[in-house]
Amino acid sequence: MNKLISSAFLFLGSLIPLTSKAQVYTERQTRHRFALLTIGIDIESSFNGSSQYLNTQGSLQQFDFDGITRPRFMIGGTHFWGHADIYIAIPLTYPTYEIENQSVTFLRGLETAFKYYPWRIEN
């Protein structure tokens, strides 16, 4: 199911450049050019790591996992006439590992960011 959802978002994400239009910043700053919306898909990667789980005897057991790559849906925008970039990244999949007849899911929450630029972002 997760692969189907990821594939659908990747397919739709590939169509966005064909149908989207943007209003570029012009020489003057008007109230109509305050913010621009950005929507897209990116891929987040992480290196090897480790975690813990309760084994059948009730004690903590450590396990290592390989690097993880997963797609994220991003919604953001350039605000304040090109001086700020704000976005939220929503993970589309959560890898699951089977260890001693238990499912261990690698959960990663939303990522939000605010970046301020003293000079305006240009095309």
Choose among 27, 4, 14: nearest CA to 122: 27
pLDDT in tens, 2-13: 566 556 656 655
Choose among 105, 108, 114: nearest CA to 46: 108
The pLDDT, as a whole number, for residue 104 is 77
Structure tokens of 98?
A: 């089977």
Q: Which residue has the higher pLDDT, 89 or 14?
A: 89
Structure tokens of 12?
A: 């739709």
Task: Indicate the burial class of 25 (C-beta count within 10 angstroms; 0-12, 13-18, 19 or more).
Answer: middle
Looking at residues 15-24, what average pLDDT do you find?
Answer: 52
Choose among 123, 111, 113, 43: nearest CA to 85: 113
Whole-model pTM: value is 0.61
The pLDDT, as a whole number, for residue 9 is 58
Choose among 85, 63, 67, 65: nearest CA to 76: 85
Task: Indicate the burial class of 71 (C-beta count within 10 angstroms; 0-12, 13-18, 19 or more).
Answer: buried
pLDDT in tens, 23-72: 555 555 666 566 778 888 888 888 888 888 888 888 888 888 777 888 88
Query: What is the rounded CA–CA span in Å between residue 108 and residue 116?
Result: 25
